[in-house]
């Protein structure tokens, strides 16, 4: 699947040409396809989240070194969210999925009442990671400071953003 995203800093004619060429290519291959045009729901891109993602990558390297296991970017990002307390309570679906996993792991048969109670307890107590993409500038700055503090506490001196990274992120939020 090819996805095209138009932003205001692009030349509309160049963008249109890219889309046109992709359509012609698919048509020549006798492939069926769909074109959908809709407004961006969340215009943040990887570039805007680059600072926090850079910290996740550095954190993943430190975790891989510490545990002797390779931490993927996604694993590092999720673990880092727990480390800095960037979590929320699980919703019903998340609590239900977790309860089912727990049931399978411990290989125990639950009564309906016990299982419902487990789901209820998880909804009230089980924390899941929040999305960095939904963070405000103030939240993002606080998160970065927490990550820097974590790095200082563990002696991981490279777990920091450069001033250029921070300035670029602040500029993005101010331009929004």
pLDDT tens-digit map of 113-157: 999 999 999 999 999 999 988 888 788 888 989 999 999 999 998
Q: Band of the pLDDT at 172, cuts 50, 70, 90?
A: low
Contacts (Cβ under 8 Å, ≥6 apart) of 125 = 89
Is pLDDT above 60 for 91?
Answer: yes
pLDDT of residue 7: 73
Give, in degrees to the nearest 5, the angle at Cα 140 between 136 and 141: 120
- Tell which residue, 72, 65, 73, 76, has the closest CA to residue 155: 65
Sequence-distant (≥ 6) Cβ neighbours of residue 114 within 8 angstroms: none
Choose from 8-12, 160-164, 166-170 the range with maximum mean pLDDT: 8-12
Nearest CA to 120 among 78, 91, 161?
91
Per-residue pLDDT, 147: 93
Burial class of residue 159, CB neighbours in 10 A (0-12, 13-18, 19+): buried
In the chain, the DSSP E strands lie at: 87-89, 127-129
Question: Which sequence spans correspond to the domains of the chain?
Answer: 1-40, 50-175
Give the tens place of pLDDT for each residue, 28-87: 999 898 888 887 655 444 445 678 888 999 999 999 999 999 999 999 999 999 999 999
Identify the pLDDT of residue 175: 65
pLDDT value for 82: 97
pLDDT band at 8 (very low <50, low <70, confident <90, very high): confident
Tell me the CA distances in angstroms from 107 to 51, 97, 116, one per residue in order.
Answer: 42, 15, 17
Lowest mean pLDDT among 21-25, 98-102, 159-163: 159-163
Cβ atoms < 10 Å from Cβ of 119: 20
- Measured CA to CA, the distance from residue 37 to residue 95 in angstroms comes to 35
Give the span between the Cα atoms of 1 and 29, in whole angstroms: 14
What is the predicted pLDDT for the residue at 40? 65
Structure tokens at 5: 């995203």
Using 50, 70 and 90 to split pLDDT, how confident is the model at 167?
low
């Amino acid at each position: 699947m090819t996805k095209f995203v138009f932003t205001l800093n692009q030349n509309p004619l160049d963008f249109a040409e890219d889309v046109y060429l992709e359509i012609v290519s698919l048509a020549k291959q006798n492939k069926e396809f769909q074109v959908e045009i809709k407004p961006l729901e969340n215009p943040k891109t990887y570039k805007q989240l680059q600072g926090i993602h850079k910290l996740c990558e550095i954190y993943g390297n430190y975790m891989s070194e510490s545990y002797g296991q390779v931490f993927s970017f996604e694993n590092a990002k999720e673990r880092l969210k727990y480390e800095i307390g960037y979590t929320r309570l699980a919703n019903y679906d998340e609590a239900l999925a977790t309860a089912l996993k727990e049931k399978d792991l411990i290989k125990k048969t639950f009564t309906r009442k016990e299982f419902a109670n487990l789901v209820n307890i998880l909804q009230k107590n089980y924390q899941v990671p929040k999305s960095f993409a939904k963070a405000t500038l103030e939240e993002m700055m606080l998160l970065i400071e927490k990550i820097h503090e974590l790095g200082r506490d563990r002696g991981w001196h490279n777990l920091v953003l450069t001033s250029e990274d921070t300035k670029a992120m602040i500029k993005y939020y101010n331009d929004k």
